[in-house]
Each structure stands twice: as structure tokens, then as C-alpha cells.
Structure 1
């Protein structure tokens, strides 16, 4: 079994990032025909695959002067919004209730899976799901019981989930869609908002082949030396607060807690 990509060292009342070895997939993309890269990116990423694929497609299109049709782009942008809603909603229904001593809301999670994986989005049903989970009081209880410095993190994540149906409705109504940029010939850059934040892909293409590829992902930024994760962890007091912090950050990779030299 592979060890967790992120290890949090917790001793006494102090927590810090002890190890952060996030998997990098960019090396697998170099020398690959540019046209094949977006699909490869989707297959390489088990979490936020739609967001990764869209960012890749937009970056490749910008680097190769390819025009992506409105219909195809809208379909993929909607899939990204639904994916983001699902990612946060599943954490809210299945993982976060334990933080406040409650059982998972399995039925709500199953309903969310059906709604967000539908081929044709039902915006009204998505909005009703958001209203229902809010009416259950779980989001409010979670924010109320969170450590003070972590409550805004949970609030922002829940608020973003709640806005997903509105953003999907906007796409269906003709709102502007994300596009890549071409800062120089053969270079494409694209940014997409996923469940955990802003995802950026940058690619350089020469003669139809990928020469260089960089993925700037939210988890990597947050756990960098200048990211917010070290600061949030440093403010934790006690093991429970450390666990709250890691759920608030919600890295897209496995994590473990090293407490007094023992792996918890």
C-alpha cells in the first residue's frame, strides 16, 4: 500500500506539514501528440477529471490555434460545474457530518450522484437539492461548530457548491465560457475553477507534440511553503482541530496524521 501523499506531523499542540509528495503527471504528457493530451489527462486524474480535461483542452486549443465550438465547450463546462458540486456535496454528506458527531446523509449523497451525473442537467432539481441540504441544518451546524479560523473555509466551499446550479443555468442561457490564452506562439494557458479552487494548465507545443506541460493545482498551491495550509495547521490546538483543518482544506490526495511519532 502506498503511503499517504501528505503527512501531518502533530506533536503536543503543534501541527505542521511533515511530508508533501504530491503525484506529478506532467512528465507522462511530454512528447505526446497534442490532440491526445486532454483525454490522457482525464484518465490520469481520478479526482476532478472533468476540470482537468477541460483545462487541458483549452490550453491545447490555445497553443495550436484550434477553435472549440460553443456547444462542445458548454457541455464540458457544465460537466465541470456538476463535478465541483458533487465533490463538495459528497464531502458535506459523507465525511463532514462526523466532525459534528452526526451520521452520514447517505440518501442525500445518492440523490446528488444521480443529479450531477445526468447527461442533461436538471437545474431545478439541483437547486432543490441545495435547498434541501440547507434545510437539514447540516451546513449551518458544521460552520457553527468549526474552529473559528476554519469556519470561513467551510463557508466558502459550501457557498461555491450552492452557486453551481446558477452557473449551469447561466451557461445554458449563453453566458461567456472559459477560454485559453496564447501568451506566445505555441504556448497555451487555461484556467478552470474546480471544487477546490483555481486549476491552471500551461502547455508548449511544437510540430504537434507537447514539449512542456505544467499543471498548477489547488492542493499543490495550498501545501506549498507560501500556501495557506501550513498557516491553518499552525493555528490548530489539539488533535481534533488538526482533523478539522484537513477536512476544511480537503486535499485531493490521501493524507495521514503522525502523532507523537505514531501514525494515527
Structure 2
């Protein structure tokens, strides 16, 4: 049999004398947007969800809204239904990681049966009543299983020691949080931590970009000439317990905790889509006739689709996904992955794998640690 093909994302780090050194994120994902050029908008909208193995609903929604904006058409007949679909997909993506991928990393059994039960409900069509019931069950999942130790306590933890005590009393995920914190805080990157991407409307994206994004931006996106991190941490950095972890240098744990908060947020959106106090998950704008840009908040962060339509055909198309932000050559994984000391190669591998999972690429990935040998 031939060797297995390399994943789309290769994450390579060096270890020399107990020091994790240079880190490289080699993102080899092909730019699928060019497959849409020359097609009609309807053909493109139908094709987009089939081009992406993950977040097909978000990708399809972004394509539909971008094309509708460019054509000057209404973007959604039922915006509340779109919101529910996006929230269900985001919850599904989070639970895949939380129930199947994180436990084995810390020697625990994946919760396959629990995931399968939720998977069946999250991927089926939802009306308002079934979405309301499912949203309540997701909120119960967070309170009774994922963060049970925090909900059983009479008050929120006031310091890191209390946070660990609460976490350790809350099942597998709590144990993972406690163990991750026990590994120790990450040393601050020499170049500083990666800025968090602010929540921007489609119109604000047009303003920041000076128009539609080009291919270079989509391969290595930056905001105000700097890489940025998108995803749950960017959305929940102001939450008190996330802020506590960030303040103590436990950025991986902060991302994991924020991911669970996102599940609860998805549950709330399923029950009350388009509530006035929270921004919608999808937005689109047309800066000029024939041009459209849509932004959709996914489990992993912001997704941008931009289109230029001429003579009823797509003349140009651009897609920028969260992975290109978080695994940018100067982004969060590269900055935080290197430049720190470790007690062992095993600990280094665990932290690098946890960092990658916390940033959650939407493509297959592999973490490689190259150990230097000295005579």
C-alpha cells in the first residue's frame, strides 16, 4: 500500500535542549473559489456546499448571501431559519471536537454515543419547535455535563486555584481543563500574542479592505496590516472566566472554555434566533452593483465570501476561512507554538496538539516535532 497523503495543514516545530523553537504552519489547502468563476450565481450557490467537507451550511449561506447582495436581491426568505441552521451546524462542529477529539488527547475515552445522539438531532431539518427543544438540551448539556463543576458551585471562581477546583469537579472536560492548566502557563510569545479579530459587519469589512478581498488576502489575511485570531476566544474574551484564564497566561484553556460557551450560545440562538441583544450570525452588503460580500460567524470564526458578477456570470470569487487567520505564517499558532521551555518532548507534543485543536483548523492537520540531536 502507498503512503497516506499528507494533510492539508502541516504544523512543524523544533525542540532543542528543552526549548521549543521555530514553528511553521504550512497550509496547502487549494483555493476552491476559482472553481466558481464562469458559472452562473445559481450554479455557484449549489456547488459551494459540496466543495467543503466542514461547515457546508455556513459556506452555502455565505455564497447565497454574497450573490444575492451582488444581484440586488433579498438574501433570505426566512432569516430566522438561516440563523437556526447556522447555530445547529456550529454546535455540531464544536461537539465533534469536545466529545471526540479532546478526551483521547488526555487519555480519556471519546464520548461516541453522546456525540452520535446529538449528531442525529443537529443535522436534521429543524422547525421552530424542534429547534427550541434542541437549544434547551444544549444548554442542559453545558450546565450538567460540560461545565457541571462550575454550575454546582455557589459562586464563580475568583482565582485560578478555585477555577481548577471547579473544573476538576465537572467530568471529563473539567478534568481536561484542570490538567491543561496543570501543565503550566504558556510563556508570552516574543512578538506578543496575536490580536483578536473584532466583530465586524459586512459593511465594515468592505471599509477595512477598501473593497472586496483579493486572492493574496484570502491566502494570508490580515487586519490593519497584522494577523489576527478569529473564533470562540475572539467572541468570548470579555467573559469573566475566559478573561481570568487569559490573565494568567492559559490561552489554550481559555480557548477551550470559550468553545463551551459557544455551545451555550448556539443553544440560545436555537431557542431565540435573531434576538435583539446579539448580532446575527450572517450579514451581507453590496458596495456597488454586481459586487457582494457576506460574512458568516462559524464555529471556528469568521468566514468571508466575496463575488463580482458580470453578464449574469461570476467574474471573480474570493473565500477567506478561519483557518487562514489562525494558522497564518505569523498568526496565533505560530506565535504561541514556539519560544518556550518544556520539561519533555511529550509535554511539548501535548501542548502543540492542544494548541492546534484549540484553534481548530477546518482541514486535516498533523503536528510534527523535530528533536535536535547533539553528539
User: Does structure 2 conserve the Cα–Cα contact (< 8 Å) formed by 1:42 and 1:49?
Assistant: yes
Aligned residues: 261
| Residue 329 (structure 2) pairs with residue 225 (structure 1) | yes
Partner of 2:13 in structure 1? 10
| Residue 267 (structure 2) pairs with residue 157 (structure 1) | no
Q: Secondary structure at the match of 1:210?
A: strand
Q: Secondary structure at the match of 1:260?
A: strand
Match of 1:39 among 42, 46, 49: 46
| Residue 137 (structure 2) pairs with residue 125 (structure 1) | yes
User: Does structure 2 conserve the Cα–Cα contact (< 8 Å) formed by 1:15 and 1:234?
Assistant: yes
Give the Cα separation in 2 of the matches to 1:8 and 1:59: 32
Match of 1:188 among 281, 292, 311: 292
Could you list the per-position Cα deviations for residues 113-170 of structure 1 after superposition, in whole angstroms to 9, with x for gaps in the alignment? 1221232223223333333432352332222222523111112222111210111222
Correspondence 1:185-264 to 2 at 5 A: 185-235=289-339, 237=342, 238-260=348-370
Partner of 1:142 in structure 2? 176
User: Does structure 2 conserve the Cα–Cα contact (< 8 Å) formed by 1:149 and 1:232?
Assistant: no
TM-score, length of structure 1 as denominator length: 0.90
Partner of 2:230 in structure 1? none
| Residue 116 (structure 2) pairs with residue 110 (structure 1) | yes
Q: Secondary structure at the match of 1:204?
A: strand
Q: Secondary structure at the match of 2:273?
A: helix
The 3 A distance-change label for structure 1 pair 59 and 257 is: same
User: Does structure 1 conserve the Cα–Cα contact (< 8 Å) formed by 2:25 and 2:328?
Assistant: no
| Residue 80 (structure 2) pairs with residue 77 (structure 1) | no
TM-score, length of structure 2 as denominator length: 0.65
Give the Cα separation in 1 of the matches to 2:362 and 2:24: 15
| Residue 36 (structure 2) pairs with residue 29 (structure 1) | yes
Give the Cα separation in 2 of the matches to 1:172 and 1:114: 24
The 3 A distance-change label for structure 1 pair 24 and 242 is: same
| Range that drifts further, 150-159 or 130-139 | 130-139
Could you list the per-position Cα deviations for residues 153-191 of structure 1 after superposition, in whole angstroms to 9, with x for gaps in the alignment? 112222111210111222177887533101122110111
Give the Cα separation in 2 of the matches to 1:215 and 1:48: 13
Could you list the per-position Cα deviations for residues 35-69 of structure 1 after superposition, in whole angstroms to 9, with x for gaps in the alignment? 22122110101101001011111101100011134
Superposed displacement of residue 15, structure 1: 5.2
Superposed displacement of residue 18, structure 1: 4.9
| Range that drifts further, 117-126 or 21-30 | 117-126
User: Does structure 2 conserve the Cα–Cα contact (< 8 Å) formed by 1:8 and 1:15?
Assistant: no
Give the Cα separation in 1 of the matches to 2:25 and 2:263: 31
The 3 A distance-change label for structure 1 pair 125 and 62 is: same
